Amino acid sequence: MTLTIEVLASTIQDGSKICIPTDYSGVSMAATRALIKRGAKDLHLVGVPTSGFQSELLIGAGCVATYESSALTMGEYNPPPRFIHAVKNKEINLIDATCPAIHAGLQASQKGIPFMPLRGIIGSDILDLHPHWTVIQNPLSNEEDPIVTIAAIKPDVALFHAPFADRDGNVWVGRRRELITMAQASKTALVTVEKIIDDCLLDDETLAAGTLPALYVGGISHAPRGTWPLGFWQGDTEDANHLSLYKSMAKTIDGFNQYLEEFVFNGAAS
C-alpha cells in the first residue's frame, strides 16, 4: 500500500481524469512534481471546486489536455501566467463550470447515479457551454419548476495530501469532507501523507469519523511537507517567498522552464 512518490505517480496513466482539491484542502505538490518529472501527458484535471498552483505547473509543463473547474486562481500571486498562455493559445481544452456544479457532479458519481439536480444557474450563459447539462421540469411539482441536471463527473483518480494514514491504508482527512467525496466519486484515490501511524484509525471513535477507509485508497506515499510551497491545514503555512519567485520566473516560457529545471527536475523542492 505504501509507495514511493515515483511509483505513486507512475500509476496515473496518461489521459487520466484526475480530481484535485483547492489550495487550502491538501494539494499533493509532491505528486505533482513527480508527474511532471515522469512526463505525464493528456491529463484531464478537475479542480474541486477550483485549483491553483498545482494546475498551473502541470499545464505549463505540458501535462494537461483538459482543465475543468470553476476557476484557476493563485490568489494574491495572480495571474497564473502559464494557464493564461495555454488558454490564449488554445493549448488546452477549457471546461468552465461553477463551484456547486463541480460538487454536484462528483456527488452524483459518489452515489452511482447519472446526474444531480441543481438550481441557481438557470438563465446563465454557462449552460450553453455544457450540452450534457439539461434543464428539465421538476417531476415532483405540478407547477412550472425548471431545474438543471448536472451530469456525473467520474474521475479515474482522486489525488490529494492528508495529515496521516495508518498501516492498513486508512487515511485521516478530518473535516475535509470534500476529499472523501472526491475519493468515493473516483475509481481510486492516491494520497500523499505527512506520516504513517501504527494504530488503526478505524479503531478510534474520534478519528474514525474523519477517516477515509482503505477500500477507496489505491496507494499512499509518505511525503512530509508534501504540499510545499502551498500551505497545509495541518502543517506549514505557504512559502510566500517561493510563490513570489515563481510568479516572477513564470512570466516567460524560458523563466518557467528554468523554474522546472531548478525546483522540479533537480530536486531543489522544499
241-255, pLDDT tens digit by residue? 999 999 999 999 999
Residue 154: helix, strand or coil by DSSP? coil
Question: Hey, where are the domains in the chain?
Answer: 5-97+154-265, 117-151
Contacts of 260 (CB under 8 A, 6+ apart): 36, 60, 61
Q: What percent of the chain has pLDDT over 90?
A: 93
In this predicted structure, the answer to whether residue 269 has a pLDDT above a threshold of 80 is: no
CA-to-CA distance for 86 and 79, rounded, in angstroms? 13
Question: Which cell goes with 244?
Answer: 513570489
Task: Let me know: does 99 contact 119? Beta carbons within 8 Å.
Answer: no
Asked if residues 218 and 156 have their Cβ atoms less than 8 Å apart, the reply is no
Q: Cβ distance 97 to 68 under 8 Å?
A: yes
* Region 5-97+154-265: CATH code: 3.40.1080.10
Q: How far is CA 154 from CA 9, 16, 45, 183, 188, in A?
A: 20, 11, 12, 10, 11
What lies within 8 Å, CB to CB, of 231 at 6+ separation is 23, 24, 237, 238
Q: pTM for the complete prediction?
A: 0.96
The string of pLDDT tens digits covering residues 183-220 is: 999 999 999 999 999 999 999 999 999 999 999 999 99
Residue-wise pLDDT tens digits, 52-89: 999 999 999 999 999 999 999 999 999 999 999 999 99
Backbone angles phi, psi at 257, to 5 degrees: -65, -35
The alpha-carbon radius of gyration of the chain (Å, integer) is 19
